[in-house]
Amino acid sequence: MRLSIPLMASAAFVIVAVACGGGPPPPPPAPVIDSAAIRDSIARAEAARRAREDSIARARAEAERMARDRAMADSIAREAARVRSMLTELVHFDYDRSNIRAEDATILDRKIAILQANPAVRITVTGHCDERGSDEYNLALGNRRALAAREYMVNRGIAADRISTASRGEEQPLDAASTESAWARNRRAEVALAAGGDQLRAPSGM
Amino acid sequence: MRSLGVALLVVGATSPLAAQDTVPPREGVRVGITYQPGIRPGMLVLGGSPSELLDSVRAIVTRDLDFSDRFEVITLPADDSLTLGVRESGEPGADFVNYRLFGALGADFAVRLRSVDGEQVSAVVYDVRQELVRREISFAVPPPDDAEFRLAVHRIADEVVRTVTGVPGVAATRLLFLRDRRVYRVDSDGAASQPLTAAGVPTFSPAWGAGGRQVVYTEFHEPGGSLFVQDVASGRRRVVPPSERGLNYTPVLSPDGRTLVFTRSGEDGTDLYSWNLADNCCLQRLTVGRFADNLSPTFSPDGRRIAYVSTRAGLPQIYVMSADGTGQELFAPFDYGVTGSSNAPEWSSDGLSVVFHRDVGGSPQIFVMDVGSRTVRQLTSAGRNEDPTWAPDGRHLAFVSDRTGSRQVWVIDLETGRVRQLTRGGEARLPAWSARID
């Protein structure tokens, strides 16, 4: 059966229109606009965003500050360690002698500068010997070595009460071998910090 | 023409006898006395039937008699043939003693040890040539596991020596020495060594007091060292008050035990001090060294003088002074610029000699000085030999030698030259020989 399409479509339309029983569907209702609430919530979101950004910025600043402090503390500690190792560097002696040799005088000069730059520091100097020589006599020789190192520093301006002395003779060798090099290592004066070593400052120029 | 007279210049080399200082060291121990075998009396130690107590006693006594260096000690394997050398008859004085057999064995004397009632040991000393009993002595000897057993047996040997020679032996003595930084004590025959101080606490320079019942020594602390007087039996000790601070060492007690003299090193240098131990007071400075050190004191047996070391001439040498510090003078002569350092003097208990060590060619050797004539004699020549100490018989010395490769205590007899090793094991230093222990 050949009916024309338009006739069929309009017939369908009429049929559908008659079936729904009414006119075209109604448009959606218009939204109710509460301006104040919107502005409020926008403002709150803004504030929250700003607060987040602020705290991120603060945290970043704090972290940067801590990193700077740590770096400074590290560098102070490295400096203090460097100064401490100069302060405790060993001086050595010839066999059966307690005189300060030229190369050891230079080491003592560095200690003098450090003591001058750090007025709170007090040290103990302990004299040691190699295993040769009488055991008893070596306590006296170690004492003389400690006194010689102390006298060198006192003569160059360090107050005497900042340096105390001790001796251990041949009782505490660094090297127990019986060779010339072991003996040379053992003939020494050791410097230890007795007080005021918290924040050692390097003398200028060192 | 005037004749030119030939002027004869006689140059007299007036260098005093520098003794063995200029003699190059030879191998081995060289002593001034040559040993002649056969000159000592033969001493036969009789065997007996096996018994735990007597076997120990016999072994210790035999070794002590050998170590006295006064006899040719003859021992034979313990079997019945020798026990038959003496046949007991049950009646005192009527035992059969085979003097002819003993004489044939080379004995001039014989000693028989027998146990009486289990707790007593009797020693019978026979005079082989005169074929009679010289002496029979009884000793109370505790059981072998008792701490005082060995000392009791040593006293038996000393009495046997006294019976024959008139002078008691030195077996009932002990020596102190330092090992692993602790004070050790050992019997005169090298047995029964034991520490007297705690592990982990470094000590130094031990010495005897009160007839072998007390020891005095340094205990190091940061930064110095304090002196302690310790009772050997109980281990109880007390600090010597003036030594609580500073570095104090080489303590020695006066013969009457009332005074302690010691070395102190400090900002003033190193000097000798004395302390009244009996009254617990009165520290006195005996030497004022200024640019010299004074250390290592030793009392004369009458307590009136102190020999010590001083560096007032440059190198350390041996000086002497009165016990109150006055009258300081050189003691052991030396050639300035030639003689080596001298250290560690000790006065013999008969007052006649001072032993010390002196550097010869770079190594310390033992020297003995006759106090009366101030002549000095070198006793050792090879290796390092140092820190000598007298036995109370004035003829035996203990000292430290490295001849075995590590420092150990050795004993030498000045009359025969015989040398024996006393300590073995860990390094031993700074020996001190006690008086006879009663």
For B319-335, give the DSSP string.
EEEETTS-S-EE-S---
Domains and CATH numbers, chain A: 88-195 (3.30.1330.60)
Side-chain-side CA neighbours of residue A107 (13 Å): 21
Side chain identity at residue A67, one-letter code: A
ipTM surpasses cut 0.85: yes
Taking the CA atoms of chain B, what radius of gyration do you get in angstroms?
25
Max mean pLDDT range (A7-21, A115-129, B7-21): A115-129
DSSP-assigned states of every residue in B243-278: GSSSEEEEEEE-TTSSEEEEEEEETTEEEEEEEETT
Per CB distance under 8 Å, which residues of A are interface residues toward B? 96, 124, 126, 133-137, 139-140, 142-144, 147, 164-168, 171
Our measurement of the distance from residue A99's CA atom to the centroid of its chain's CA atoms, rounded to an integer in Å, reads 41
Cβ atoms of A165 and A147 closer than 8 Å = yes
Across the interface, of B247, B311, B430, the residue whose CB is closest to A135 is: B430
Tens-place pLDDT, residues A145-185: 999 999 999 999 999 999 999 999 999 999 999 999 999 99
- Give CA–CA dist B177/B429, Å, rounded: 6
Tell me if B248 sits within 8 A of B264, measured CB to CB: yes
Report the residue of chain A nearest B290, measured CA to CA.
A144
**Given this model, what pLDDT does residue A107 score?**
97
At B33 the pLDDT is 33
Q: How many CB atoms lie within 10 A of CB B367?
A: 25
pLDDT of A184: 98
pLDDT tens for A15-38 read: 555 555 556 777 777 777 778 889
Given an 8 Å threshold on Cβ–Cβ distance, is B181 in contact with A171? yes
Across the range A131-151, mean pLDDT stands at 97
- Of the candidates B202, B247, B343, which has its C-beta nearest A143's C-beta? B247
Count of Cβ atoms closer than 10 Å to residue A10 Cβ = 12
**Is A166's CB within 8 Å of B316's CB?**
no
Q: Cα–Cα distance between A152 and A158 in angstroms, integer? A: 9
Q: HSE on the CB side for B55, CA within 13 Å? A: 7
- Name the nearest CA neighbour of A149 among A86, A93, A71, A196: A93
Domains for chain B: give ranges and CATH numbers: 42-165 (3.40.50.10070), 175-433 (2.120.10.30)
Q: What is the pLDDT of residue B5?
A: 37
Distance, in Å, from the CA atom of A116 to the CA atom of A110, rounded to the nearest integer, reads 10
Instruction: Report residue B89: phi and psi, to 5°.
Output: -100, -5
- B249 and chain A: CB distance < 8 Å anywhere? yes
CA–CA separation, B346 vs B261, rounded Å?
14
Q: What is the pLDDT of residue B26?
A: 39
Q: What residues of chain A lie within 8 A of the CB of B270, using their CB? A: 139-140, 143-144
Instruction: Give the CA distances from residue B123 to residues A46, A123, B43, B65, in Å, rounded to whole numbers and listed in that order.
Output: 115, 66, 13, 13
Which are the contacts of B342, defined by CB distance < 8 A and separation ≥ 6?
B309, B315, B316, B317, B318, B332, B334, B356, B357, B358, B359, B367
CA A113 distance to own-chain centroid: 25
Average pLDDT over residues A81-94: 96
Mean pLDDT split into 10-residue runs, chain B, 438 residues: 37 34 38 50 85 88 97 76 66 78 92 84 94 93 91 96 95 98 98 96 95 96 95 96 96 97 96 97 93 97 98 97 97 96 97 98 96 97 96 97 95 95 96 95
Per-residue model confidence (pLDDT) at position B271: 98
For residue A115, pLDDT beyond 90 = yes
Q: What is the pLDDT of residue B289?
A: 80
Specify whether the CB–CB gap between B203 and B181 falls below 8 A: yes
User: For residue B297, what are the contacts with CB-CB under 8 A and spacing of at least 6?
Assistant: B250, B252, B261, B262, B263, B272, B306, B307, B308
Phi, psi of B340 (to 5 degrees): -80, 175
Q: Is B134 on the interface with A (CB under 8 A)?
A: no
Give the pLDDT of residue B79: 58
What pLDDT does residue B86 have? 76
Q: Give the bridge partners for B266, in sequence order.
A: B269
Give me B45's structure tokens.
């130690």
Size of interface A-B (CB pairs under 8 A): 74
DSSP single-letter state for residue B61: H
Q: Which residues of B touch A144 (CB under 8 A)?
A: 269-270, 293
Distance from CA of B256 to the nearest CA of A (A): 25
- Which residues 6+ apart lie within 8 Å of A131 measured at CB? A170, A173, A178, A183, A186
Chain A contact set for B295 (CB, 8 A):
136-137, 139-140
**Residue B227 pairs with which residues in a beta bridge?**
B218
Nearest partner of B257 among B227, B226, B212, judged by Cα: B212
